[in-house]
Chain A
Amino acid sequence: MGGLSFDIAHLLAGALVLVSFLLLYQSRISALISAFALHAFVLALAVAWQAAIQDAPHLFVTAAIAFLFKGLVIPIVLNRMVVRLRIHRAIETVGGIGPTMLVGMGLVALAISVMLPATDLADPLTQEDLAFALAVVLLGLLMMVTRRNAVSQVIGFMSLENGLILAATGAKGMPLVVEISVAFSILIAFIVVGIFLFRIRERFDTVDVQALDRFRGERR
């Protein structure tokens, strides 16, 4: 593994951490969804690069899933849901953005201080990638904990899962990565649908589609 490929893999992992901070920084839902799309793109790039240098073609499938499903489909669906259900456009946070970023910094420091000594036997690239992946997971959890809005909590969960996928691809030769990522994606899809069913039921007191049709004014 040459120096440049080392650097680019590293850079992409670091970029993922950067975009996680970007997710924490947003205060409007549409910007948050766009930032999440960026998060998924960067993950797809990182996984694809790992596939190229590890010579593991099945990882390209994972990259494609991340790009299509999380980078395109989910943001489009979320945007539509937000508009249709008229979900509150601003994100209410617990604590200001400043303290949240400070705590995020502390979490990154924690991730590094835990991972680097623990993985002493592995080569430096894997070590640092795992440290970054743990940092992404922790930042995703932080987002879920400090947001009151359901959409932002879901996005936090999805970014957490992105971090797990980064860790899985970073460790060379991990089996069933593709299967795990597909399973996680289906889990996410169900969670998203579930949340919106909950919102619909809150709003209209029913999830009966016929009743919703009546609401929309389409008489049969």
Chain B
Amino acid sequence: MTIVLLAVLVLLIAVVIGVAGGRTRAGAVVVYMLSALAAAAILVVAFARVAAAPETIVLPLGIPWLGLRLRIDALAAFFLVVVNLGAAAASVYAIGYGQHERAPHRVVPFYPAFLAGMNLVLLADDAFAFLFGWEFMSLASWALVMAYHRDGANRHAGYVYLVMASFGTLSLLLAFGLLAGAGGGYGFDAMRTAREPAGIAFLVLVLALLGAGSKAGLVPLHVWLPLAHPAAPSHVSALMSGVMTKVAVYGFIRIMFDLVGHAPWWWGIIVLVIAAATAVLGVLYALMQHDLKRLLAYHTVENIGIIFIGLGLALAFGANGMGEAAALALTAGLFHVFNHAVFKSLLFFGAGAVLAATGARDMEHLGGLIHRMPTTALAFLVGCIAISALPPLNGFASEWLLFQAIVLGTGLPQWGLKFVVPAVGATLALSAALAAACFVKAFGITFLGRPRTPGAASAREVDPFSRGSIIAFALLCVAAGTLPGLAVDWIQPVVGSLLDGAVLRDQADMAWLTLVPVDWDRSSYNGLIVLVFVLVSALVVAAAIHRFASRRLRRSPPWDCGFPDADPATQYTAGSFAQPIRRVYGTLAFAARETVDMPRPGDTRAARFTVRIRDLVWEWLYAPIAAAVERAADALNQLQFLTIRRYLTFVFASLVVLLLVLALWRP
């Protein structure tokens, strides 16, 4: 515990150094190195602490009669590992990426503050510490989003982010207030033992969904994510997408599974429906983007949906007393938390490398980068395969566990669940398939083909620090995919602590390191065997071909059915790749409409093809609310311009009303 606190202190010191020396390159490197070391230290300690007993410490800071309660238990340790793994990698990446930084004094001081805030949220054991850390994290990340504030789009992103973050904090504040109850016990251990009436508990669920969901990106609270995540520098985007959303997931798990604890079965339906909608809408929006970082941000929304599907299933199973099934669902969700942090950070690092090398984020201006940036391309490819849930990498392992959990759902007795769970299974399958399409597009248009602009044609491979962190995470994807049993075993103490001891079987001593969640007869998956078989088959075939077939190879212009066109603009673009999918799903999901403006024969101007995609959530939810707030503000604005007599009348009337209330209330 002391090591963790020292590490957080190091981060705060790094903030000071950043303020003082952030403008210089050396100062930035020192700050990032300190952040990396601190994150690595916490990572190592927390990794060991997942299986250990909880440890609490009370610091004499903050509110006098409460102090600052910090605690590391299995859940906090797991999320500390996830957060600090991403943080360490991002810091190492930033050492190299930071040299492209246009405004280092706006980024470097806030970066360690961001890390410190996230760690504080995870360590908090009372409501004040939690909310203080949450706000600290939000404000630090807001400052990072506003780093390039001269750009109007970034200012807009920062404003929306600030509004949504404040709304989230307010919801969490109310939730903790309800949990503390009339007794006022703001420490988590008091909340754990208190038992709320059903109505209050339901309100806490709604508020937790609003608060944690807005930070995680559940539909319809996702609108700030695709604006804010791309606006920040790439290493910060990686942290916001890969890691900060997980802190929000931690908040939800902490409130729902730990502090509230007893959930009726129909809460599972609410979470499942929201999560399924989030998964499908997130990936559909992602498919329509041609800004690489916006695509990745929208895709985070989909993965958050998948994680919450696991959590919703765990709630439903737990309420029905099906302990092993609940353990499986929760394990799948937590494993996906870890996997997503790894491969989303990897993809954002790659996108940052592309941005640094070519100066462009728009896929329509890239292409052919696999020749210019081979290492980055290979690692990015591994990330794409992992996120598309393809065997034998880690995305497939966690989705496989989730599918197994859904199959176990036949044991659920309630009618609502009997209809919702198959539908959720269908949307999960659909979103996995759409994710594969999305990343064929992302990798194919960015890295393959021919360069579409001179910027793309002159890209160079990035510095060793960036490459190192990208490669490390790619290897971690492969490791987690081929050895999922070890990861699942490591997660079990967390699951056991949340579900009153229900855990899965021990995976480490399964033959050939297979993943057997329930029973050998039931189902098993072995990522290592799949990988070995595929590689061995490929090598056998290659050897056979080498021996028996012609080895000659000749380069020539592309065939292209006899009509090769030298202009790279005739290649498929991001928009054209997504067009079939937009035709199929677009009218339903976002009222997509294509118009073609053809000039009359004889008119020599160019034709225009326009695609209009509307975010229906923004139009139907946020725009009316914003308009109503503006109208109310305009109406209240009249109060600014009253005469002195009117102000006095106001005061007089308020006094009379309060006295009346006092008079009437006495009996």
Contacts and interface: CB of A to CB of B under 8 A. Distances in A.
Interface of A: 96, 98-99, 109, 113, 117
B419 A98 contact: no
Contacts of A96: 587
A98 B587 CA distance: 11
B588 to A, nearest CB: 7
Contacts of A117: 415
A98 B588 contact: yes
Main secondary structure of the interface of B (DSSP, over half): helix
A128 to B, nearest CB: 15
A99 B588 contact: yes
A113 B587 contact: no
Contacts of A99: 588
The 8 A-B pairs of least Cβ separation, nearest first, read A109-B419, A113-B415, A99-B588, A113-B419, A98-B588, A96-B587, A117-B415, A98-B584
Contacts of B419: 109, 113
Interface residues of B, number: 5
A109 B420 CA distance: 10
Interface in B572-595: 584, 587-588
B51 to A, nearest CB: 44
A113 B419 CA distance: 9
8 contacts: A96-B587, A98-B584, A98-B588, A99-B588, A109-B419, A113-B415, A113-B419, A117-B415
Contacts of A98: 584, 588
Nearest to A116: B415
Nearest to A117: B415
Interface in B529-545: none
A1 B251 CA distance: 57
B499 to A, nearest CB: 29
A99 B589 CA distance: 12
Nearest to B426: A105
Interface in B418-443: 419
A117 B418 CA distance: 14
Contacts of A113: 415, 419
Nearest to A110: B419
A117 B415 CA distance: 10
A105 to B, nearest CB: 9
Nearest to B585: A98
Nearest to B422: A109
A135 to B, nearest CB: 14
Contacts of B415: 113, 117
A99 B587 CA distance: 11
A109 B415 CA distance: 10
Given A113-B419, A117-B415, 5 more contacts: A96-B587, A98-B584, A98-B588, A99-B588, A109-B419
Contacts of B584: 98
B304 to A, nearest CB: 24
A92 B277 CA distance: 30
A10 to B, nearest CB: 19
Interface string B581-612: 00010011000000000000000000000000
B321 to A, nearest CB: 22
A153 B192 CA distance: 60
